[in-house]
Every structure is written in C-alpha cells, then in structure tokens.
Amino acid sequence: MKEQVTDISKVLQDMTEEMRLLRETVNRQYAENVKLNRNINALNLQIRKKDTELTNLRERLAKYENPDKNSNNSSTPPGKEHMKDEVVRRTGSLRKPSGKKPGGQKGHDGHKLSCSSVPDETIDEVPDYCTRCGESLSDSERVLDYVTQVISILELKPVIKEIRHYVMVCKN
C-alpha cells in the first residue's frame, strides 16, 4: 500500500470491487454457517431423543438385572414381603384368558384311550356272594357288565455288558 496513487478513481473502483467480493464471501459463509447450525441442531435433537430411549431401556433392563427380592427368588420368608407383592404372588397367573368356556369346544372330536383287541392276560372278576343278601353266587348265571384294561410297565432291569479288549502281538 505504499505505492503512489496517480488515479484515485481507479483505486476507488478496485477497492469497491474488492469490498463487493468480500461481502459475497461473507454472505456465502454466513449462509453456510446457518445451514451448519441447522444440521447441528437437528443432530442434537436426535441425540437427545436417543439418550431418552437409552435411559428408558436402561431402566427397563435394571428391572431384570436387579429384581425386587421376594420369597420366590431369594431366601426372604413370605412374612417379610410387602402385602402387594404377596397378593400378586398368590393370585398372579401366567395364563391369559381366552374367552372360551372350559372343557371341550363345539366341533372338536373327542378321543379316548383305545382298548387292545388282543390282551396279553385276561382276568375274570366274578363275585362270590351277593352284596345285598350275602347268598352264594356260584351256581348263578354270569352277565358281562363292563371291561377295563390296565397297562403295566414292567420293572426295568439293567443289562451289564463286559467288553474285553485284546492286543495282538506280532511275531516279528
């Protein structure tokens, strides 16, 4: 700037042009700053939202990591429980009501255990005397009333196997 000014109008024009370029640069930077601030604000809002979600998740997990102690999950006797917990423990059911009446539903084909057509053993249960008068029934006619079948599972007997392992010795 230590040069001689010969044409003041030329210098003023150059300075005016330089000022215009500087203003354009400042305006562009201002617009970019506004845009970046909007992005920062939007990201901060997302971070706050995620933080609250994370806090909620931590609170929900804490319920499972450190459950309240009661007589079901600790050595606390039932008498030391809060009344509310005891009522919930005694009356709480894990089943959800279906709205249907208990028992067989309409349209459902029932099923029962089927009897074997060839039983391994047959036992005749014949009464010896009348339950009303006590008279002997040895010469009376027999009439089949009903049949039942009992399935018995025999006692399991262990099978002990002895396995002998040999080694062969070569002559060489």
165 domain-assigned: no
Give me the pLDDT at residue 139, please: 83
20 domain-assigned: yes
Query: What is the Cα–Cα distance from 118 to 15, expressed in whole angstroms?
Result: 119
Q: How many domains does the chain have?
A: 1
Residue matched to tokens 């010896």: 128
125 domain-assigned: no
Give me the pLDDT at residue 24, please: 96
Give me the pLDDT at residue 89, please: 65
62 domain-assigned: yes
Query: What is the Cα–Cα distance from 14 to 137, expressed in whole angstroms?
Result: 141
160 domain-assigned: no
145 domain-assigned: no
* pLDDT by 10-residue block (mean), the chain, 172 residues: 74 92 96 96 95 92 80 76 69 76 84 84 87 84 87 84 79 70
35 domain-assigned: yes
pTM value is 0.32
3-state SS class at 10 = helix
Task: State which residues form the domain around 49.
Answer: 11-74
